[in-house]
C-alpha cells in the first residue's frame, strides 16, 4: 500500500512540526493545517486522507467544531489532542465520533502507537465491505471492482449483479431469485434481461467470465473453485 496520508491540525506551528516529524519518520505522509477552516479545505481537496489529528484548543473554530463538520460527510478516524488529561469533555467527543484521545504532553511512542492502532482498526472495519473470490475483489463502499488487481468498469446493474453473485458464491441462483434480489421486486419485465447482463459481465471479466456458470434449465452460479476442469 501507499504511504498513508495524515492531516495534522493545530494552531501552534511548533506542535505541528513535532507531530509531523514523528509520523514522517514512521512512514506516513503528513499535511498540516493551522486552523479549522484550512483543515476542512484541505480535507475536501485531498480525497485520500486516512486519519486526522486535531487539537481541541484552537482560536476561532475549535477542535469540536471541526470534528462535527467533518463527521457530517466522512467517517475518517479522528484523534483529538487535549491539553490536560482531566479535560474531560471526552464524553462530548465520543458523541461526536472521536476515535481516540491523546493528552499533552505525550510521548512520540504513544502517538505513533495510537495512530497505528486506529488505522489497523479502520482497515479491519473496511474489510467487511469487501468481497473477494477467484481474484475478483468488490469494494462495496467504494463501489468498484478489480480483477487480479486491475480495475474494471461496470455499470450500476452489472455491479449489483456481480455483487449478488459474490455474496452467494457457490450457490445456484434461479432467474427468479436473481430478479427478486438484484432488481426491485416490483420489476415485471423480461427475465431474459439477466442473460444480457450476464453476457456483458462475462465479456468485461475476460477469462474470469467463466466463473459465472450457466446451470441449464435453472439459472446461474458463481464458481468458487474450478470444480470440473
Partner DNA sequence: CGTTATTTTCACAAATTCAACATAATTTTG
Partner DNA sequence: CAAAATTATGTTGAATTTGTGAAAATAACG
**For binding to a second copy (CB under 8 A), which residues are involved?**
85, 102-103, 105-107, 109-110, 113, 117, 120-121, 124-125, 128, 141-144, 151, 153, 155-157, 170-172, 215-218, 221, 227-228
- Closest by CA position to 227, among listed 204, 216, 214, 211: 211
Q: Which is nearer to a second copy, 72 or 228 (CB)?
A: 228
Smallest gap from Cβ 157 to DNA, in A, equals 3
Distance CA 80, CA 67 (A): 9
Distance CA 102, CA 109 (A): 12
DSSP-assigned beta bridge partners for residue 11: none
Residue 206 φ/ψ region, left for φ over 0, alpha for ψ in the -120 to 50 degree band, beta for the rest: left
Residue with cell string 456483458: 200
Please select the residue that binds DNA; options are 157, 169, 177, 204, rule is CB under 7 A: 157
Three-point CA angle 215, 221, 226, nearest 5°: 100
Q: Which is nearer to DNA, 92 or 180 (CB)?
A: 180
Asked if 183 interacts with DNA (CB under 7 A), we say yes
Residue 58 CB-half CA count within 13 A: 29
Q: Which is nearer to DNA, 180 or 214 (CB)?
A: 214
Please select the residue that binds DNA; options are 158, 165, 205, 208, rule is CB under 7 A: 158
Asked if 185 interacts with DNA (CB under 7 A), we say no
Asked if 114 interacts with DNA (CB under 7 A), we say no
Sites of contact with DNA (CB under 7 A): 155-158, 175, 183, 187, 189-190, 192-193, 195-199, 202-203, 214-219
Amino acid at each position: 500500500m501507499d504511504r498513508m496520508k495524515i492531516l495534522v491540525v493545530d494552531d501552534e506551528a511548533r506542535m505541528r512540526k513535532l507531530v509531523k516529524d514523528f509520523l514522517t519518520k514512521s512512514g506516513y505522509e503528513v499535511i498540516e493545517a493551522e486552523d479549522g477552516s484550512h483543515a476542512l479545505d484541505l480535507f475536501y481537496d485531498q480525497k485520500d486522507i486516512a486519519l486526522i489529528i486535531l487539537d481541541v484548543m484552537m482560536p476561532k473554530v475549535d477542535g469540536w467544531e471541526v470534528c462535527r463538520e467533518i463527521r457530517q460527510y466522512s467517517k475518517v478516524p479522528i484523534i483529538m489532542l487535549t491539553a490536560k488529561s482531566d479535560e474531560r469533555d471526552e464524553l462530548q467527543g465520543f458523541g461526536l465520533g472521536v476515535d481516540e484521545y491523546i493528552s499533552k504532553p505525550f510521548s512520540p511512542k504513544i502517538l505513533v502507537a495510537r495512530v497505528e492502532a486506529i488505522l489497523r482498526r479502520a482497515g479491519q472495519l473496511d474489510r467487511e465491505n469487501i468481497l473477494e473470490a477467484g481474484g475478483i475483489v468488490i469494494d462495496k463502499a467504494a463501489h468498484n471492482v478489480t480483477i487480479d488487481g486491475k480495475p474494471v468498469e461496470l455499470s450500476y446493474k452489472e455491479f449489483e449483479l456481480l455483487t449478488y453473485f459474490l455474496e452467494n458464491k457457490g450457490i445456484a441462483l434461479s432467474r427468479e431469485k436473481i430478479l427478486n434480489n438484484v432488481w426491485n421486486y416490483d420489476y415485471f419485465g423480461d427475465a431474459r434481461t439477466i442473460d444480457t447482463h450476464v453476457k456483458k459481465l462475462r465479456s468485461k471479466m475476460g477469462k474470469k467470465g467463466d466463473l459465472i456458470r450457466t446451470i441449464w434449465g435453472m439459472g446461474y452460479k458463481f464458481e468458487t473453485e474450478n470444480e470440473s476442469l
